[in-house]
Structure 1
């Protein structure tokens, strides 16, 4: 079959070059590397054949070793398996770098929308230009970096990938060879679990090396094309940060972590400024700027290398001195090198002295506990009735008096309560050092009622904050299907509260609402999760407009589709008129950060995609994006069918047992990948409601079964077909960008599945029927996806992305089989067996490589 032009380019620029540079591994001067590299193709072919024959992993591995006399002893077998894992881990890094290097030629989708294209269209279209200017005055994008462990490269490896990408762009064989040697000697594993501050340092790498130049460059594009009102500097891209602030279910995040991270963000930023300033200093050697340059030297240097314990907000003096330097250059030196000053000036206006807004997040149960502790300890000062906890919601809302106080708490019996109180007070200091934007959002996880928000607001007032100067946005997070159903009613109660109304007015009549995704998928399945969030947005928008509130949705969209990722920009491009979409805010994490924002080119492209989607949805919304009642009813029915099918699976007595015994779920807690526990209530036995969504999705992905990303969707489509609604489903897919994106992302998720790997379970005494149930739904879903899209293979219309996924899956297939082999052996031997620990290490090592290879490229 003839390749399309894009496929041919991908073949030449990525696949062929990967094979070429992959051969360099054989020349590296490491222990038995040539032997490993020579044997690996035979091992991989043997694995592929065994999987195709649906053999169990133990049979596949043992039969391979049976072909070689030198692998009679277990020690030799273990040695080879570990060397294969190390080799494949580095192959994945090379493939990442080759793809990144070729991104400008292969990475842009056919439906991509860049800002350049939009701005060029506006050059000769006065009406469009006016619409864009109007949209720009209020529109913004906020990307919030989170430390959720969905990719495990340490900072040193990320640095190598960056340098390797640059060397590959220039076809510099010598540098490539040296970097591959460095890669071979650089450990991929951490000896100890990272602390929240360690996680912050890892993510700060992206802030410093990617977002710092990219965000500034995009702001320049906007400023250079459109004259926005000078009195209002509009920052089009904002950054948020969770490590050190997100304490929901993570006892390792304390107020000390928050202090260290806020200081780290400031220090890293000033070092970026100082590097830029040194370049300016080398060029601007003229008269008239000496005192301004000296002042800047002092500000940048001291904040970079001698940070104060209680720093002040130095943004204004920096801007003043830069403007003075600019004035002297324009007035007396023909504007020579003024572009360098303007570039730094732009960055200071964007990032201030804080770099990225530090969000605070805590679960509502902890906040309720803290509230109860204070009103019971200080009944007179707080004025809250002792029976508050037993009141109904109306009674609670009526009892909250919003008294201002500065309660002096000496003894606190609970660490979480103490942390909450100290954090509320410390936010004041963060704002003093970096301005309001440095830390202005408190996110309430598991928010279930209006009193959750109002009680948190009162906690601030009891800890020294004043109503008139309460520069905090209280952000409810609605995540489960039930919470999403109640969300509009909760916000309706909140908007009617007089004190909260006054607070909202002081905050510019703006309300931020976070809608989660991962737990929604775990709670109700993929289609129901998406539809529940979409419906909640419609209802929340309606009630916000009724109260004349400017609503911003903050989406907890992670990396893979099962966590809300995929082609995220399409969701924002397809928001109908019923949904507030003036601002885009979303979480990015793990493989999404490194794959979509890991280099200047990829970050620039993906940020532009999101900006373009948000801009055009407000300017040129498509008729099909606002769903009529018939289409809503159709999706409602399909979501309900999907939900029922998913809940049937969830309630199956073997649901958790299947994950515990066949996936590495039980071993994830032993990996040094995150400061956050694998599950809430870590001391108790495993329950689905306590299991973190990331662990849930990771477990299924290691099994190569995309249950969280598709299960139940096939049944929903089949039932719609049986009910005579197929024409309506097809029309919905062809006209609704939202529904098409849900389906296409689910298809992408399925393309990472391979049921042949676990097909040996088909007739298993314990899990056979359960496996057959999973496979049957997978087959039904695939059949109806083909029927709906008119294709014969998954992702047929996205051949480059399909090829990328297929290549990655082929590279890591040996790791998957080694992992399943190790899990099977661990169940067969006792813990006191001398090989038990070795099998455990084999298992955990494979997790890293498999997850790292699963970059969310589409």
Structure 2
């Protein structure tokens, strides 16, 4: 079969080069590396043949060792399996680097959505150019980095990957060889569980080495294309940050840690400024700028290396001095080197003294607990009914008076209550150090009623904040299917509340609403989760427009389609007229950060695509993106059929037991990947509602079954065909960007599935029928998705991405076989404790490798 042009480039630039550079591993001067590298191809082929023949992991591995005379003791077998895991881990890193180095030649997306395409449209169209400029005045993209553990490369390995990318681009074989040696000596796992500060330091690497430069470059590109003066720049690319601020379900986050993270972000930013300033200083050696340059030297140096306990926001002072330097250069020195001053000025206008907005997040139950503590301990002065939490919602709203009192901490508070009250107070000095943009949002997880938000506002007013200076945005997070259904009613109650309306007016009449995807998938299945969020956006938009509120949607989306990721830019480009889309805000996490924003090329491409998506949905919206009433009715029916299918699976008594038995779910809690526990209520028996969505999706992906990304979709499409709705569904796929993206993302999940690996489970006396239920739905979904997309194979329309996925799956197949083999061994109660511990470590190590290779894993 003839390859397409992009497939041919991918073959030569990625696959062939990977095989070439992979051979360098055999030359590394490490003990037993050559032996492992020589055996690995035989082991990989043995695994591939065994999977094709539907043999169990035990049969595959036992038959392999039966052919190896040198590995007959349990210790020698384990030693080789560990070395294979370590070898494959490093092959994954090499593949990442080779693929990223070829990004300009291949691209990882079939989208043409870059800003240059829009600017080309405006070249001979002054009216369109004016439309774009006006749109940019009230448009932004905010990327919020979270520490959710969906990618496990430590910072040192990320740095090696970036150096490898540059060495491979230059075809610098000696340097590549040295970097592979470094990689061989660099550990891939944490000895200890990371703290929230550790996570912040890890993610700050991306802020310092990627976003600082890329955000400025894109802003400069836009300003130049549209003739916008630097001093009139409106910030288009915003950054948000959760490590150290997100305490929802994470008892390891506290106010002291939040303070340390805020200090860290500010210090790193000033060191970035100082590095840039030194370049400026080397060039601008003219008369007339001495005092301004001395002032800037003092500000940048002192804030970089001698930070004080209570710093102030000095953005205005920096800007004043930089503008003064510019003025002298223009008037007296022919604007010599003015571009370098402009570049630094643009960065200061973008990042201020804060770098990225530190979001604070806590669950509504903890906020209610805090409120109850205060009204109980200070009943005489606050005058709130002691039975407040037992009141009806209307009575609660009426009982909140928004009185201003500075209630001191008593020292008797429980830890979470104390932390809530401390962080509310801490947000004020953080704002003083970096402006209100440093920490201006408090996100309420599991928000179920208007009183959750109103009570939080009252907590601020009881903690030293004043109504007329309450520079905080209260952000409700709606996530479950039920919460999404009630979201519009909750917001109507808020918008019609006089006190809250007054607060909104003070905040520019702008309301941010967060819609979480992960838990809604776990709650209602893939199709229902997608449709519930889409419907909620329509209803919330209508409500905001009725009350003339400027609505901003903040999407809590993980990397994989099962958690709302996939082709995110296409999702935003397909928002119809019924959905506000002036601002794009989304979480990025784990492997999404490293795979899509880990290098300058990929970060620029992905940020540009998001900017393009928001602009194109405004200036060139497709008619099919606004669904008709009939199309919505069809979607309602599809989502409901899918939901019922998923609920039946969830309610099967074997559901969690199957996941615990065959997947490494329990091992996720024992590996040092995150400061956050794998599940809520950590000390209690596992319940599905307590299991974190990331752990849920990761466990399924290790089985290569990826249930959260497709289950129920096939049944819904089959029902449509049987009920004479196939033409309607086909029309939806061809005209609605939202529905097409939803289906195409599901294809991605299915491409990363491989039921052949677990076919042996069909004969299990307890779980065989359950496995068959999963497999049958996979086959049904595959059949109908191919029919709907009119293709012969999954992701046929995305050949490069498909080849990338298949290449990665081939690399990690040995890890999956080793993992399933080790997991089965752990079930043997008679196993020697030392051997059992070794198998447990093997499981953990394979999880790392499979997740790192997955890049948007499910």
Per the alignment, residue 39 of structure 2 pairs with 39
Is 2:230–2:346's contact at 8 Å kept on the other side of the alignment?
Answer: no
Q: Give the C-alpha shift of residue 133 in structure 1.
A: 1.2
Preserved CA contact (<8 Å) 1:101 1:165: yes
In structure 2, the residue corresponding to 1:670 is in which secondary structure? coil
Kindly report which structure 2 residues correspond to 1:172-321, keeping only aligned pairs within 5 A, or say none: 172-227=172-227, 233-321=233-321
Post-superposition CA distance 1:236-275 (Å, at most 9, x none): 0000000000000000000011001000000110010010
Q: CA deviation at 1:232?
A: 5.8
For residue 409 of structure 1, report the CA deviation from its aligned partner: 2.3
Distance 2:449 2:412 in 1: 26
Q: Which residue is equivalent to 2:805?
A: 805
Name the counterpart of 1:407.
407
Deviation at 1:226, TM superposition (A): 2.2
1:728 alignment counterpart: 728
CA distance in 2, matches of 1:228, 1:294: 29
CA contact (8 A) 2:13 2:102 kept: yes
Which residue matches 2:553? Answer: 553
- Aligned mates of 2:7, 2:497 — CA distance in 1: 58
What TM-score do you get using the length of structure 1 for normalisation?
A: 0.99
Cα distance in 1 between the residues matched to 2:249 and 2:217: 37
Q: Which residue of 2 aligns with 1:710?
A: 710
8 Å CA contact 2:559–2:857 kept in 1: the answer is no
Whether the 8 Å contact between 1:22 and 1:91 is mirrored in structure 2 is: yes
Classify the secondary structure of the residue corresponding to 2:335. coil
Asked whether the 8 Å contact 1:139–1:583 carries over to 2, the reply is: yes
The alignment status of 1:620 with 2:603, answered yes or no, reads no
The DSSP-based 3-state class of the residue aligned with 1:689 is helix
**Corresponding residue number in structure 2 for 1:607:** 607
Task: Report the counterpart of residue 85 of structure 2 in structure 1.
Answer: 85
2:595 equivalent in structure 1: 595
Closer, same or farther: CA 233–336 of 1 in aligned 2, 3 Å: closer
How many equivalent residue pairs?
Answer: 858
Unaligned runs of 5+ in 1: none
Contact 2:562/2:697, CA 8 A, preserved across alignment = yes
User: 1:334 & 1:496 partners in 2: Cα distance?
Assistant: 58
Cα RMSD of the aligned pairs, angstroms, is: 1.1
Cα distance in 2 between the residues matched to 1:642 and 1:853: 30
Q: Which residue of 1 aligns with 2:638?
A: 638
How does the TM-score come out when normalised to structure 2?
0.99
Matches within 5 A, 1:93-242: 93-107=93-107, 109-227=109-227, 233-242=233-242
Counterpart CA distance in 2 for 1:382 and 1:620 is: 54
Equivalent residues in 2 for 1:329-340 (5 A)? 329-340=329-340
Q: Render the CA deviation track for 1:529-559: whole Å, top value 9, x for unaligned.
A: 0000000000000000000000000000111
Deviation (angstroms), 1:829: 3.2
Q: CA deviation at 1:413?
A: 3.1
For 2:92 and 2:382, locate their aligned partners in 1 and report how far apart those are by CA, in whole Å: 58
- What displacement does 1:230 show? 8.6
8 A contact 2:430–2:438 mirrored in 1: yes
Q: Say if 1:575 and 1:625, in contact at 8 Å, map to a contact too.
A: yes
Distance in 2 (CA, whole Å) between partners of 1:83 and 1:293 is: 55
Distance across 2 between alignment mates of 1:635 and 1:166: 47
Q: Give unmatched runs, 5+ long, in structure 2.
A: none
Number of the residue aligned with 2:777: 777
Q: How many Å apart are 1:291 and its aligned residue?
A: 1.3
1:441 maps to which residue? 441
Shift of 1:383: 2.2
CA contact (8 A) 2:46 2:60 kept: yes
Counterparts of 1:190 and 1:411 in 2: how far apart (Å)?
35
Deviations 1:167-215 (A, max 9, x none): 0001011111111111111110110000000000000000000000000
Instruction: Name the structure 2 match of 1:353.
Output: 353
Cα shift readout 1:504-543 (whole Å, capped 9, x = no counterpart): 0000010000000000000000000000000000000000
Once residues 110 and 187 of structure 1 are traced to their aligned partners in structure 2, the CA distance between those partners, rounded to angstroms, is: 35
Q: Which residue in 2 is equivalent to 1:381?
A: 381
Is the counterpart of residue 363 in structure 1 residue 358 in structure 2? Answer: no
From the superposition, tell whether residues 228 and 285 of structure 1 become closer, same or farther in structure 2 (CA, over 3 Å).
closer
* C-alpha distance after superposition, 1:637-665 (max 9, x if no partner): 00000000000000000000011110000
Deviates more, 1:320-329 or 1:88-97: 320-329
Q: Is the 8 A contact 1:101 1:169 kept in 2?
A: yes
- Partners of 1:137 and 1:228 within 8 A in 2: no
Cα distance in 2 for partners of 1:485, 1:831 equals: 50
2: distance between equivalents of 1:793 and 1:227? 46
CA contact (8 A) 2:109 2:801 kept: no
- Aligned partner of 1:854 in structure 2 is 854
Q: Is the 8 A contact 1:596 1:857 kept in 2?
A: no
d(CA) in 2 for partners of 1:230 and 1:135? 18
